[in-house]
Each structure stands twice: as structure tokens, then as C-alpha cells.
Amino acid sequence: MYDIEMLYEAKSVDDAVKTLAADHKAIIIAGGTDVLVNIRAGKIAAAHLISIHGLHDELDGVSLSDDGTIEIGPLTWFHHVVTSPIVQATVPTLGDACNTPGGPQLRVSGTIGGNICTAATSGDSASTLFAYGALLDVRSVRGIRTIPIEKWYAGPGKSTKERDELLVKIRIPKDHYEGFTGYYFKYGKRRALEIATMGCCCLVKLAKDKSTIDDIRLAFGVAGPTPMRSFEAEDGVRGLPVAEAVAKIGELAQADTHPRDSWRASKEFRLQLIKEMSKRSLVEAARRGGADI
């Protein structure tokens, strides 16, 4: 049923990266909610698994560094991202996004790091981490390097992380979140246990008058083979009064995205979602920032 040839429980991050380097077949297992499904489906045969499940001291939890950077351990469950007082006070839109995968049971087994490493365009943390410009620290026996999230996704289910690299930290610098309010909009046919047909995150920074857009970030999951930001939509509405931006943003985002047909939805339906969800996410993000719209 589960074709597992080897399971090793890493004692430390050091131990995990050394074992990963030594065994060329090995992959990491965190919560296992993707890995085990893939093994059961026969997509991974005779699996060699290195579990990081016990590495709570090194890889679990959310903290705030002295310079205001938010640091999230990859082993943090979705539920603990949602309930983190630091997340609620600084990047609440990431908390909202992490409150949507699966159901309550999944959110206390699936990790944010696993969601990033699976590299699915539908991953619920993806568009929000894109909008916040997250920095991803990976470690291997060769040392540590940082991959900005815009450079992480290499294709459906593929990342630029090497097989022997372990994601050890997710960072969001202060200037990436300070002054922004946001909204994550997940569209699916059900409210729970549903992979996103479309995910959209809008972060907005309003001018002092609360009616003009000083800055904006608009990111999508499932609007293409990888999560993406719509820079054309952002550039097209930056500096505009909120109401004018709302009227324009949907079509700009449509022109800048490349959704595909799938059994979940047609390309045309997804384009309609992109238009509508951009508008609604902007309205909600601006309202949260104090706009009267």
C-alpha cells in the first residue's frame, strides 16, 4: 500500500542535510499530507524518506527579529500560522490564506514549508507569500542560500530548490508588509476540502487620504502553471483613486495572466474569476486599510 523502503528520523537540521546528501534517492517528509498521498498513488516507488517531523526546536514556530522581519519555520502547521499573534499583528492576510487549506484536521498536519516545497500553483500559501515577497532560506551540505519566492517556482510541482536542499526558514522583511492591508480570496466549489480553482491575494497601501493607492501587489495561484504577480495590473492602478483602480484592475489582470483548461474549470471561466476576484480583493483590502468604498 505504502511503498516505503527507508524512513529515517533526522536528529537535527545538520543531520537531515547530511543524510539527504548521502542518499541520492531520499526526500523530506514533514506532515506527509502530500508525500504519503503521492506514495499511495504510486507516484513515488520504494521511497526513501527523511522525516523532519521531530525538529520542532529548529524548524517550528513564528518569530519577529529585531529589524521587524517575520521568520516562519517551515515545520509550522497551517493552524499555528493562523493563530500566531505575530502573524495576526503583521501579516494577517497570510493567516487568512493558511486558514483555507483542507479542513481543520489537515491544518494540524500540513505545514507551510510542505506547501511551498510541493510547489503547486494551487497552494493556498503561494499567492499570499508572493504578494508579501517572501524570502526562502534553504540549507544543504554546501551551505545556506536564499531564494526569493519569485524565483522559487520552476513549473507545475517543480521548484528551483535542489533535491538535497532543506527549506529552513521563510522570511518576510518589514518593508514588504508594513503599511499594507490585504485580502486572500480562494475560489472553489466548496468552502472546505477543496483545492483552489483560483487563488488571489491583493495587498494595498493607501495614501494618507485613504482614497488613493500608494502601492499595490496582486498575486494569483492557478492563473498560470506557477503562482505569479500581475505587475501590469499593479502598475496600471498604482497612484489612482481606489474607485478608479477597482474599475480598471480586473481587465488589466486578465490581460496579464495565462490560466489553462483543467477538469476543475475552463480557461474562460478562470479568466472571468481573475477579473472578478481582482476587483473584489482590491475592494476588501482597501476597506481594511480604511477606504470608504
Ligand X SMILES: Cc1cc2nc3c(=O)[nH]c(=O)nc-3n(C[C@H](O)[C@H](O)[C@H](O)COP(=O)(O)OP(=O)(O)OC[C@H]3O[C@@H](n4cnc5c(N)ncnc54)[C@H](O)[C@@H]3O)c2cc1C
Q: In this complex, which beta carbon is closest to ligand X, that of residue 203 or of residue 222?
A: 222
Residue reference for cell 474607485: 243
Binding-site member from 10, 93, 94, 113 for ligand X (CB under 6 A): 113
> CA nearest 150: which of 133, 165, 138?
133
Burial of 58 (0-12, 13-18, 19+ CB in 10 A): middle
CB 8 within 8 A of CB 16: no
Beta bridge partners of 216: 204
Among 33, 69, 93, 197, contact with ligand X (rule: CB under 6 A): 33
Residue closer to ligand X by CB (options 29, 201) is 29
Helix (H, G, I), strand (E, B) or coil at 282: helix
Q: Which of 70, 82, 96, 110 binds ligand X (CB under 6 A)?
A: 110
Rounded-to-integer distance, Cα 33 and Cα 120, Å: 13
Cell 493607492 belongs to residue? 213
Site for ligand X, residues 46 to 85, rule: CB under 6 A: 52, 74
Residue 32 sits in the site that holds ligand X (CB under 6 A): yes
Examine residue 34 and tell whether it contacts ligand X (CB under 6 A): yes
Q: Pick from 117, 131, 149, 216 the residue near ligand X by CB under 6 A.
A: 117
Distance CA 41, CA 3 (A): 10
**Per-residue contact string for residues 250-279; x = within reach of ligand X by CB under 6 A:** ------------------------------
* Residue ranges binding ligand X (CB under 6 A): 27-35, 37, 52, 74, 101-102, 106, 110-111, 113-115, 117-118, 123-124, 166-167, 193-195
